[in-house]
Every structure is written in structure tokens, then in C-alpha cells.
Amino acid sequence: MYYQVIAQCTQSLKNLEICLDKAERYAATKNFDIGVLLSSRLAPDMRPFTYQVQSACDYVKGAAAWLSGQTPPRHEDNEQTIDELRARIRKTVAFAGSAVRARERE
């Protein structure tokens, strides 16, 4: 079950990165700054999209750490650009993968 949870979580983050790619293409096609989408909210009481990506990464790295008995890496939550969000997703996926490998060594 451990591996299924981590695999599903990392796949969800990879899907989120695909959403970022689509958002970037949409902004380019419509000729507006991608920052508009990154700071957007789906509802008035929601946090901006950037925060949503950060939170998704935090949940995955927290779950991977908890399930493998490790301490999750710390992120500063200061991403402002789409490339910084992609980098955070990739770092989180890499950590989750390393947590799986650490678990296999036990």
C-alpha cells in the first residue's frame, strides 16, 4: 500500500505540472502575463493558485516522509514564477521517490 500511495501522489503532482504547461500555453495564446493565472483564485475565499501548488507539494512530501520515517525537506514557499513552481514539483517528486527507495532498503 505504501508504494501505491506514493505512486498516486507523485502522479498527481506530475499531472499538476501538465496543468502548468497548459496554463502557460493559454496565457501565451491569449497574450497575457502568466502571473495573472498564478495569482488567481477559483473562489473569493480560496488562496491563489501558487499557494495551491505549494500545498499540494507539502502534502505529498509530508506523506512520503511520514510513511518512510523521514523528515520532509523544507521549502520556503517563495515561488513566484511558473518555472519556480515546476522546480518545486520536481523536487517534491524526487523526494517522494527517494523516500520509496529508502523504504526498500529497510
- The pTM of the full predicted model, rounded to 2 decimals, is 0.89
103 compared with 94, residue with greater pLDDT? 94
CB 53 within 8 A of CB 84: no
pLDDT tens per residue across span 27-50: 999 999 999 999 999 899 999 999
Rounded CA-CA distance 40/81 in Å is 13
The type of residue at 78 is N
Per-residue buried b or exposed e for 65-100, using 16+ beta carbons within 10 Å of the residue's own CB: bebbeeebeeeeeebeebeebbebbeebbebbeebb
Residue 68: alpha-carbon gap to chain centroid:
19
